[in-house]
Amino acid sequence: MRVLVTGGAGFIGSHVVEALTARGHEPLVFDVREDAGADVRDREAVARALSGVDAVCHQAAMVGLGSGVADAAEYVSRNDLGTAVLLTVMAEKGVRRLVLAGSMVVYGEGRYICERHGVVRPGPRAVPDLAAGRFEPRCPVCGDALSPGLVTEDAPADPRNVYATTKLAQEHLAAAWARSTGGAAVSLRYHNVYGPRMPRDTPYAGVASFFRSALARGEAPRVFEDGRQRRDFVHVRDVAAANVAALEADAAAGTVTVYNTGSGEPHTVGEMARALASACGGPEPVVTGEYRLGDVRHITADSSRLRAELGWKPEVGFEEGMREFARAGMRS
């Protein structure tokens, strides 16, 4: 299969290219890092790139939390306008297969259970609570403590920042494309991806990158809140393998199929910082109590649908992955 990989020179995209090659496919890289003219918002450039292509693996995106709404236009331009241009040209060229780099951020907060009221959806955390160190969401009905659980793909979307909003819009655009063309789309909602070639110390790289960069400087990782926020850290090679599995699967025409893509092993941010510090032989993490508006407290996924329907399973365990990441090269 000839596969156009947008963002194919980036962190996740470069691993997708390697995984496709290993499976005997022919990946074509479309990335501004290698060619300044390879912009998914450029209709002519996209048309040239799609010539003779069987499928598209769309990894190109502006990622990260974002800074309020100050950079909203740039996020929407790169993520949503870029996706719209790509899909428009795919429709014209008759390319009917798409795998989209989705994200767990579309869920907002994760799944919570109140002993009295069952599954509930707490709203955004209030600044006075965060400033006072009250980080755990409470039941929106009775105010009692909640137990976090695993989010399934049928959970309602509740994006809490600009980036999350653009990732959900990408899925809606893909759905409109699939319905109008009879194409088949898969959105892989990535959880916290880490591993070799991760960008170093940038606002868009993720907490694992910040911790790794600090340790490389001989500094202690700085952990926000109390370090007990739960995430699913999934290795980049496992994510790349999920992309290949999605491309090779018999996806239903005219639809977007959504899959959570995580390790299935929730860990706290503090646990991750300690594991990475230990693997690097660096100083112990410092828990700061600081917070960022727009961050959610707990978000971990149930990835059993991806395992059951596509036969995918993660191969890199948490401790093994952190040991490798501690030694791996990073990008500037």
Q: List pLDDT tens digits, range 138-162.
A: 999 999 999 999 999 999 999 988 9
- The yes-or-no answer on residue 190 being catalytic is no
Please tell me the distance from the alpha carbon of residue 200 to that of residue 330, in angstroms, as a whole number. Answer: 6
Name the helix (H) or strand (E) containing 98.
strand 97-103
Mean predicted lDDT score pLDDT of the chain: 94
Q: List pLDDT tens digits, range 78-94.
A: 999 999 999 999 999 99
pLDDT at 202 over 70: no
Within its chain, how far is the Cα of 17 from the centroid?
A: 17
Q: What is the DSSP string of 230-280?
A: EE-EEEHHHHHHHHHHHHHS-PPTTEEEEEEE--S--EEHHHHHHHHHHHH
* Per-residue pLDDT, 205: 58
* Per-residue pLDDT, 200: 82
Nearest to 225 by CA among 102, 332, 129, 94: 129
The band of 206, judged by pLDDT with boundaries at 50, 70 and 90, is confident
Q: List pLDDT tens digits, range 30-49.
A: 999 999 889 999 999 999 99
Please tell me the distance from the alpha carbon of residue 103 to that of residue 168, in angstroms, as a whole number. Answer: 8
The band of 66, judged by pLDDT with boundaries at 50, 70 and 90, is low
Q: List pLDDT tens digits, range 281-320.
A: 999 999 999 998 878 999 998 999 999 999 999 999 999 9
Helices (H) and strands (E) in the chain, counts: 11, 15
The band of 329, judged by pLDDT with boundaries at 50, 70 and 90, is confident
222-223 vs 286-287, strand pairing mode? parallel
pLDDT at 67 over 80: no
CB distance 107 to 158 below 8 Å: yes
For the chain, percent of residues with pLDDT exceeding 90? 86
What pTM was estimated for this model as a whole? Answer: 0.95
> Per the residue annotation, which of 75, 112, 163, 291 is the catalytic one?
163
CB distance 211 to 270 below 8 Å: no
